[in-house]
Structure 1
Amino acid sequence: MWTTVSRTDHRRLSTGGRAARTLKFGAATLCLAAVSVTTGCGGENTGSESSVTVATSSNGLSFLPIMVAEENGYYKDAGLNVTQTSVKGGSTGLSALAGGSAQFYAGLPESLISASAAGSEAKIISALTQTNDYKIVSSSGIDSLSQLSGKKFGMLNEGNGTDVQPKQVLDDAGVGSESVQFIASGSVSDRLSALEAGQIDATILNTPFEFQAEEAGFNTIADLSDEVDDYPAQVIMSGTKTLEDKPETVKEFLKATNKATKFINENPDEVTQIAVESTGIEKNLVQKGLKEFISTKHYSESGEVSDEGLEWASKTLSNYTDQNIPADLDDLVDLSYLPGGES
């Protein structure tokens, strides 16, 4: 089970198309907590392999390509010694990129859109997924979005994608997000625990945790994939220094991850156990989630980032925060490191 705890002028490719498993977590967590500078944790080692750290925003099934690339030896074959760690939210992940304690961060695109307003020079370098797997889950007795008026809604923190996305859904449904009390309730597992304890009435969960909630008697009342097509719910980001100093490492990391994505899409049954160990959730629920992901083409084999999806993410941030959202989202994306990318 996973723990929960910078510029190169390249041309962007055209867009619009649709583990040792818990590896070295003690060292990784210490490095991220310290937000070390560019030497030390996650830097190049003196051996034949290049050591890198990848942080993820949760342990949901969307991050399975990273786990499979490690388990199947794709990173090792590429000359990479990869440490994986899970961090609580985009601000922590992007801080790890800026400090050099992680070379890659996989999370919601909203985190980088927000951080860019504060001067972050990190880039989105690949889409890990191309559909939104978040669902709104409510306590028993609440069967529709309209019944959330006056209720407590759990999200990660204010201004995060788990905050602005459900607000957009509520307003689009005519409920009125201002009628709902949004409460910072922590990570996915924390939010599920808060729901079980009756501290909140609804929350936003990603796959397969919504299935876990359903088995506990809660209701799924909204699917955020209905809001927008081709939304890159999880993207891979990297910092300026890594992109400038280790371009070949970046390319090899994306190539190996892309290989794992294709393996998952073609062999979902063979990766079930890896998924069970990465999420800590029962096998039947993991299988249900993988079946849904394969049928909806959730995992992105191209790595391309949908313009429509990024614009929706930008819109939700503009609607529900006072952040200075960048006008040109192309400046946040550099897909030239993908297999077949151009400089």
Structure 2
Amino acid sequence: MLGLLVGLGIVAATSVAAEGTKQLHVAIVSRTIFYLPVWLAAEKGYFKDEGLDVRIDVFDNAEKINGALRENAVQIAVSTPESIIVDALKGGSLRMVAGNAGRLPHYVIARPEIRSIADLRGKTIGVLSNEEGTTHLVPEVTRSAGLRPSDYTVKAVGGAPTRWRLLRSGEIDAGLQPFPLSYEAEAAGFSNLGPLANFVPDWQFTSVNVDLRWAERHRAELVGALRALQRGLDAIAGDPASAVKVAARELQTDEKLAERAIRDTARLGILTPKMEISAAGTRRVHQALIAAGLVRDEPFGLERVSDARFLQESRR
């Protein structure tokens, strides 16, 4: 596994750079609006203020991120929490240490000829992976139209930009797309079947994740990174002009759509303002994991899958 990651240009571990800064690799899943705090923290020098030289890698695959965390090929991930929860409940060392997207920014986007959820019968729905993120939400959506999992195909294809490309090519018929990709899809004539939050109002969609074996040895770096991420989050409202420019560049869209996406992110409360983890949203993820047979049916406890010490320290 590590050889593959090195082949992708993701080199290992925390090290001390020549100028005395600590090098960190931060993994994200794809280019979507809820990673704006990460990009702003890098753009505006907040990581450097903490003595960190940060490289951001886009994986387009959540399972690879978790493997990279375990092997110390990346040290921090802003990613989906499902496998983190499964690992923690099975005695592993992965934990959520802060929140990111505490609500779902997605819309159900489908090929133009599909006009309702019921029309998804016999169709192929693209998701991030077989075990992460929107995979667990598809049954919630289709159940509203009386569809069963056997009535359609779920295909793991990767993050939202990949799903948009496959929607356009006809390789998938529908996908759960965040804005601004949902705006682009509507403008191109694709069907918007409604916001995912209508079906699942509470869901911890992405979180800041670490391997505790690394975190305990590098507390100062993690606390500093969390402080920088909070400043990046605050900069969305504090410096809106920069936020729009960075969002447009990283999302590979125009500034008008980027500004609309930032506005909708705030209006819908997608990003948690103090990077807190949503207990209600994580409980809902836990319920979905039980339903999928990935964890035992037992009482939920946020403290079993997260570690709040580092975020608390970053606020002092």
**Both proteins in one fold, TM over 0.5:** yes
Counterpart contact for 2:80–2:206, Cα < 8 Å: yes
Match of 1:263 in 2: 235
Q: How far has the Cα of 1:307 moved from its partner?
A: 1.4
Counterpart contact for 2:100–2:208, Cα < 8 Å: yes
1:107 and 2:82 are equivalent in the alignment: no
Counterpart contact for 2:203–2:280, Cα < 8 Å: yes
Counterpart contact for 2:248–2:255, Cα < 8 Å: yes
Give the partner amino acid of 2:224: E
Q: How far has the Cα of 1:74 moved from its partner?
A: 0.8
What TM-score do the two structures reach when normalised by structure 1?
0.83
Q: Find the partner of 1:192 among 164, 188, 208.
A: 164
Q: Find the partner of 1:285 among 257, 269, 277.
A: 257
After superposition, residues 209-248 of structure 1 pair within 5 angstroms as: 209-248=181-220
After superposition, residues 1-343 of structure 1 pair within 5 angstroms as: 31=6, 33=8, 40-45=12-17, 47-116=19-88, 120-319=92-291, 321-325=292-296, 327=298, 328-340=301-313
Moved more, 145-154 or 251-260: 145-154
Distance change in 2, residues 1:113/1:91 (3 Å): same
Q: How far has the Cα of 1:286 moved from its partner?
A: 1.3
Distance 1:258 1:252 in 2: 10
Counterpart contact for 2:110–2:191, Cα < 8 Å: yes
Distance 2:120 2:271 in 1: 31
Q: How far has the Cα of 1:339 moved from its partner?
A: 4.4
Unmatched 5+ stretches in structure 1: 1-28
Distance change in 2, residues 1:282/1:54 (3 Å): same
Moved more, 260-269 or 322-331: 322-331
Counterpart contact for 1:131–1:232, Cα < 8 Å: yes
What TM-score do the two structures reach when normalised by structure 2?
0.90
Indicate the RMSD between aligned Cα atoms, in angstroms. Answer: 2.4
Counterpart contact for 1:155–1:162, Cα < 8 Å: yes
Distance change in 2, residues 1:227/1:266 (3 Å): farther
Counterpart contact for 2:27–2:65, Cα < 8 Å: yes
Q: How far has the Cα of 1:175 moved from its partner?
A: 3.0
Q: How far has the Cα of 1:281 moved from its partner?
A: 1.6
Counterpart contact for 2:122–2:152, Cα < 8 Å: yes
- Matched residue SS, 2:309: coil
Unmatched 5+ stretches in structure 2: none
Counterpart contact for 2:227–2:315, Cα < 8 Å: no
Distance 1:296 1:342 in 2: 25
Q: Deviations over 1:259-303 (max 9, x none)?
A: 111111333333111111111122222121111012223222212
Distance 1:341 1:282 in 2: 34
Q: How far has the Cα of 1:304 moved from its partner?
A: 1.3
The alignment of Structure 1 onto Structure 2 pairs a total of residues equal to 311
Distance 2:169 2:10 in 1: 34
- Matched residue SS, 1:102: coil
Moved more, 40-49 or 182-191: 40-49
Q: Deviations over 1:77-124 (max 9, x none)?
A: 111111100112221111111111111011111231234466531110
Distance 1:306 1:52 in 2: 26
Moved more, 93-102 or 214-223: 214-223
Distance 2:185 2:101 in 1: 23
